[in-house]
Amino acid sequence: MPRRPEAPSDRARRFACIAIGLLGITTVVAAALWLQERTVASSDTQLQAQTLALFRNDDASDTSLVKVDASSPPRLLLSDALYRARALRRAKGTDREAALTALSRQADLAIEARPHWGQAWVVKAYIESLQQGPDHRQLGLAALSRSYADSPFLRDAAGWRVTFALGHWDELDAFVRARAIEEAVWLSRVDGGSRRAIFAAARNTNGYQPLVLRWRDMRLSDGDYFAAPVVRRDPD
């Protein structure tokens, strides 16, 4: 028996149902992304508030307002890990070590999602630096090296990264030393307020001389630039 042709109204109804279904899926996905970004923004906000409190030597909250799990976006995993690690800086006891170990694994999740994210490697190095023992020191230095390989300059993390590198100067290879000196000079030039702290951190290390020499070279090149004669051409 031949199939009855589909009426135009039935075809229109079917297409309308498909369109409504696609619209519903799109709305659900958009809502999920919006909630995700809102959570990330909340985490970034509390991290910024903590940064300001630490800068002022004020009391900083040690309770994170966001919840994360293994499926959380990398930015949220990293922001939350850094916030919680900072809060544990002055804590003591076995609970502290267990918490830092968990935060190190949390940073690993962010790194697995974005392997070439220099900021994530810096956070990994920071968390490892808060723990005792040669294994943690080696993990921290390895993360430091990887961060420089992926991101030679990091505006927000440069101060800590340079200071950490200078504090472990004798354990660094030539590549990391060179990158650390370049970042130290760069940060000192773009942020004059950090220059004194960087040179103070380097003063009692073997990194002080290469830092001063590189700084001198850059300042001399600045002088050559500003002192260069202006070449004027006669009009044709």
Q: For 209-230, what is each residue's pLDDT tens digit?
A: 999 999 999 988 876 544 444 4
Residues 202 and 133 in one domain: no
Give me the domain span that covers residue 69: 65-151
CA atoms of 234 and 236, how far apart (whole Å): 6
* Band (34; pLDDT cuts 50, 70, 90): very low
pLDDT at 72: 87
Over residues 90-100, the mean pLDDT reads 85
Is the pLDDT score of 144 beyond 50? yes
**Same domain for 96 and 157?**
no
Measured CA to CA, the distance from residue 201 to residue 212 in angstroms comes to 12
Cα distance between residue 217 and residue 65, in whole Å: 47
For 122, the token pair is: 């810096």
Burial class (CB in 10 A: 0-12, 13-18, 19+), 199: middle
Note whether 138 and 163 are same-domain residues. Answer: no
Q: What is the rounded average pLDDT for all residues in the chain? A: 81
What confidence tier does 29 reach under pLDDT thresholds 50, 70, 90?
A: very low
Q: Check: pTM over 0.85? Answer yes or no.
A: no
DSSP code at position 157: T
State yes or no: pLDDT of 69 exceeds 70: yes
In a domain, 51, yes or no: no
Residue 150, token pair as written in the block: 């992926």
C-alpha to C-alpha distance for 77 and 68, rounded to whole angstroms: 7
CA quadruple 67, 68, 73, 75: dihedral positive or negative? Answer: positive
pLDDT of the residue at 162: 97
Using pLDDT thresholds of 50, 70 and 90, give the confidence band for residue 120: very high
Separation CA 180–CA 114 (nearest Å): 23
The distance of Cα 97 from the centroid of its chain, to the nearest Å, equals 22
**pLDDT: which is higher, 84 or 169:** 169
Residue 160, pLDDT above cutoff 90? yes
In a domain, 39, yes or no: no
